[in-house]
Amino acid sequence: MKLLHATLLAIVVTVIAFGSLAPIMKDAFAHGVQAQLQSRFVKIEDETFSATRLITKAEFAKRTFGNSDLETLKQVDAMGCDPARRQDVLIVTGRLVSQVKQDLNAWISLFTESSNAGNRWEFISRDPPGNVFTIPGGGEVPYKLCLSALEPGTYHAHTQLNVASVGPGLGPGMSIVVEGEPTEKPMSVANVAYQTILIAVGLGISF
């Protein structure tokens, strides 16, 4: 397990180092050039957010079970993705509509901007499941992201779609306010691996 963590950390460091060699590429992303290119291939339609105000996972655990230690957080995890029961859950839905004839491989995530340095969210589930899925040429794929808020702050959140060999693009987005105490929970190996894929795709690395 330690070797796996070390390997993933090395990958992240390598990808970030690559990014420092590509300022022109990053400037293009900052001005929306890559997002415009991506929208010529796939459009993010009907982006919908289940809430605009949430509490953190730790805050929900404390209010519901009396504390927010790791064992209590596991109890929260067992509740799954149900915003009617969990006030820390955000669900994002929409449709990915292909604009081209060929099949495209893609990754989907949530991109958030905030003045809060933590800026942490935890995936509960994704649909389509897994990291990589195919958008059929001329077709569409409905998506659903379920996340738990880990850090307080005011976020501007967007669906982030990464298309292989094309680049990333963002949905229209919405402002989300998260309140409560920060969640002291280490990021899982699976999340580290997924974030590594997203960083690499964002920097234009093809898989």
* φ, ψ for residue 116, nearest 5 deg: -75, 125
SS3 (DSSP) at 146: strand
**HSE of 60, CA atoms in CB hemisphere, 13 A:** 26
Is 31 annotated as belonging to a binding site? Answer: no
Residue found by looking up tokens 């495209």 in the block: 104
DSSP state of 144: E
Q: How far is CA 21 from CA 16, 17, 202, in A?
A: 9, 7, 14
Is 5 annotated as belonging to a binding site? Answer: no
* φ, ψ for residue 2, nearest 5 deg: -65, -40
End-to-end CA gap in the chain: 25
Could you list the residues known to form a binding site, using ranges: 156, 158
Could you list the residues known to form a binding site for Cu(2+), using ranges: 156, 158
